[in-house]
Structure 1
């Protein structure tokens, strides 16, 4: 009945997962590109992690991803991870069409059958992907079994790509000491965030127009109230917006204002208040109550949403992995002085809230880059800062730059300051990681040091980093199967390799072992992240303890 009142042809916030209602924001396109890369290009056989609050559209995003799979991809989708390791393996095999007769309940026969299937698929040029939704519900034993599946490989290629999708609790789980081996294998991370206020309005307009509406019924103040009451969570936006439309029909209004949204939110979001509030009883007048009851039963609730963005974020079409070789040409502004690290920064204030510190930032991102240049004692002033900010491969002779997506654990292992890209209330912000320990991180933020609880970094950091490292002899490291020279001698010494000083199959195998132990992509290629970790003993500033 309210559909005719607002000139609609169908409910705009219905629960049916209709692809026509998909709302792709910039942030959400970034997440979709992130997952698509994990399937089409792969992450070296590691894990791809997607997290987000309840109602931000993770599962719906997964469904959209499945509709866009390359033809050579086979997917095992696990929707109920509350199972034992044996049951998990059975589910994976069943999803891939593997016969489990006589193997059920026994891990080794199931793994053997899966390995045979993966080898056959590899020979046919197929990519096999395991997607686990609601991964925060996996037990420790099941997570460990999932990790062991990444050991299924040929001499040159991992056979299974794994995508973990879950609530923010998943990040906390993977930060545990007993799961560090799995966490180190995560090669790409992405965190979905709620909608901003402008995006909430765009989301409402999009769904209303798709449902046949010709004018936006929600006033600007109403949109602001919907965003404030729901926190930008799309599922809650659907609930409140649907109830507000019902209220508008009851009161014969074609425009939904802020007071009406307030009462709708009280009715929809606070069930205790709804059960006892006399105001709620007065809201629906008796003559209209019976008329809208049936509509409320079939129309109230959660609609499909597939857009999560942070205001000011830009879409990313390229892959983001632990190791990324940036583009650019070497420059030579002058010799580098890397004898000793400069004096430490002033003692930061007591640990506070990162969100509050980001809210105070004035949007000038140059402070973090200037501090990184100062720590490395680079000549050239603003010119050097510009080259570092652009991540030229060799910003000055003897110094290299690496940029990509990684974890705090990996940065701690490399032990170098790194510029982290965060999402602040006013848009993207660059901060310099100065130090970290088990409880806190020390950041150079907006011109000064600040120490904050380590757990506050994860919600605003998706793993993007830029780092400098000093390794003069690696600048011309040969990558062919055979090669020798000073750079190979350096690599051999760093790896502790007992073989001949030639970059051959044996040394490449030793490099792969090193990469596995340090949570890097085990591709046998000394890329930027690998070389920076190998160079941790060279001159240059190191991370400080936060005490």
Structure 2
């Protein structure tokens, strides 16, 4: 219903386990690594637990695709069975024929013969049981007896138990202590973090062909709060929020729509607010300074001989009180500032607060306020970014679709000022005014600690401190790719992709590229150094974010933020 309105070619938030939408967070990757390690060992059991909807089945399906070709698998989805029914189901999955009304011994013998024959042919056998918390103790004991069949070096049957946290309690029972001792790897899957929720939502949108941001940063915070980081609940909330956006013909999806979606999906939800609202901060600072200034004023009246030096000291005390009242988080606003930058920002903010209050705004402030009120349409911001690239929006297409038609690509990211400055590209930025209202601008140019910001059709120089106060954390840029970017490069990738990675890292580091035979340790070390340098997870795997960053840094096409201007402009 809403796909055309949002520029989607599919339903991105269906709860059906579509492999095209597979998103592996750091936790999912770690769980997958544990399972893979457990299967590579000689033990018989591997355990994966997690709350409902955290993605346990997703991890198991991903594991199945990574198993060697010489592996036979049996997948049991409904484990509420007796010992006889479980063995019969295992025979069905492995295509083992058995007579009508077989006994427990007959089925056990048939499975044992199958496992021995498989081993002689160089094949492995893996049994995966989902919802394993429903298994009866006697059935688990029967599984343990099956894994007794072994050679001198390995078990002939390996079992993966997947279930909710109750499975851990089940395995602590006294009669199952022998099975618990045979578990060679276990992992408890936790919900997604706030950062991972944003990445998860954007990933699913991109698979459905929507590359520009659709949910505001604040909406993602509400998604994380109401879903608890559970992917299944995130899908339900996003689906309902998209329906609301479509019904109101509104883009992007804001936190109000997410809250309403939570009420419809989850019932009554608790109220919550994000910390350090700018209005509350400003009011607190103003009150503290007013109190300090009033005290100084009374002292001056009572002592008219108060000298200039004493007056300066009192003023410094009042200013220092104002600076101390300013919450640390309000200065940073998500940015990773150095201590020197923090002190400078605090002093700048305090200096702004002690200026005499005027009944009317200055000309610069009026211009800025008017530009903000005219910048609440995100399409105007994208049009401005196209203008920087000497391109034009295309009627009937989303901005990213229009960019692809003109040989460009979109890159959306959550981050802070340093994330933008490292990439050094003009970008559409999501901003918030003092009342937490959303508006949008284009970062056009940077000159030391000032940036040229385009709001609607007005270009204004603002301080980096002002930008950090209003930046919500979401930005999107355009870039010109030189070739198709692969989805991931890691050990086991095609040699041409490994060579491409080596060539680009060599170009960035200013060295001669090596001729690669495989993904070696030196390449992995250099890749991890690049990831650490640019704020990426240093896992030695060139995922989508790392590959885009590599392309962005090696591309020579298009405009950049850095300016050759040497003159200073007074920031608003």
Q: TM-score, normalised by structure 1?
A: 0.48
Q: TM-score, normalised by structure 2?
A: 0.46
Greater fraction of residues in helix: 2
Q: Which has the higher contact order (CA 8 A, sep 6+)?
A: 1
